[in-house]
Amino acid sequence: MNRRGQVFLLLTILSITFITAISSVLLDLQRSQYLEPSADADKVFEVWDNTIFSIEQTISIQIAINTQPPSAGNRSFATEIQGQMDLLETYLNSRGFIASVNVMWANYTEPNAGLLAQAKMNASISLQITSSSGTSINQKVNFIITYQAEAVGTDPWLLTITKTVNNQTTFLTDISYSVGAGGILDDIYFNGSYDLIGSDTYTITTSENVVLIVTT
């Protein structure tokens, strides 16, 4: 599949993901929007949380797209993310909310190769969600999402693979990889840590299709 096809597939998956993530909450809100104010507020907070998750997924998919060859170059990441936010905003509005989702800026750090490989995106998004009864949340939300693969020590190196979202780090255990003829990756730890045996180039692909290249 060529790059354009990969991008289309990933964005299609994204659209399905955020619509699935928030649709049940929105339907519940429609049924309960005439209840007491506290119930309405609780539902708005639920929709807010699911919207934040959808934005995080959007940024993660942008990172995945940009780690695929060729290099990301001088693309407008804020514009690309805003395109998905416009879809999310339209969906929320169609379900009875007044929604505004605006990407203020987004910066992407090209992944480096070596013992420490990282791919990182920072973004600032202005988000407002108001229910039909007037309950509203309006905030600027900042995201810093980093995928990292780091090898430490000497042969065999200990490799750890993580995803960090706003200082919350998760060790990634669901990966695929390819190795040159001179290396071995041994996943005996089952906790996001792996042994690298032999000097070589290790291409790591996370379950979210983010590619990180470690060289030893």
Tens digits of per-residue pLDDT, 133-189? 888 888 899 999 999 999 988 888 899 999 999 999 999 988 888 887 778 888 777
17-24 mean pLDDT: 50
Residue pair 116/202 in contact (Cβ under 8 Å)? The answer is no
More confident residue, 160 or 13: 160
Q: Which of 147, 148, 151, 146 is nearest to 185 (CA)?
A: 151
Same domain, 168 and 125: no
Same domain, 156 and 136: no
Same domain, 94 and 163: no
Pairing of strands 157-165, 184-186: unpaired
Q: Which pLDDT tens digit goes with each residue over 74-91?
A: 567 888 888 888 888 888
Same domain, 74 and 158: no
Query: How high is the pLDDT of residue 148?
Result: 94
Same domain, 124 and 20: yes
For the chain, give the mean pLDDT: 79
Pairing of strands 175-179, 168-171: unpaired
Give every CB contact of residue 175 below 8 A, 6+ residues apart in sequence. 161, 204, 205, 206, 207
Same domain, 156 and 128: no
Give every CB contact of residue 8 below 8 A, 6+ residues apart in sequence. none
Same domain, 89 and 178: no
Q: Which domain holds residue 101?
A: 3-110+119-142
More confident residue, 24 or 62: 62
Query: How high is the pLDDT of residue 23?
Result: 47
Query: How high is the pLDDT of residue 143?
Result: 94
Region of 26 (left: φ > 0; alpha: ψ -120 to 50; beta: rest) is alpha
Query: How high is the pLDDT of residue 150?
Result: 92
Question: Rounded to whole angstroms, how far apart are CA atoms 9 and 49?
Answer: 25
Same domain, 71 and 89: yes
Same domain, 129 and 180: no
Same domain, 8 and 68: yes
190-201 mean pLDDT: 83
* Count: domains in the chain: 2
Same domain, 7 and 77: yes
Same domain, 127 and 182: no
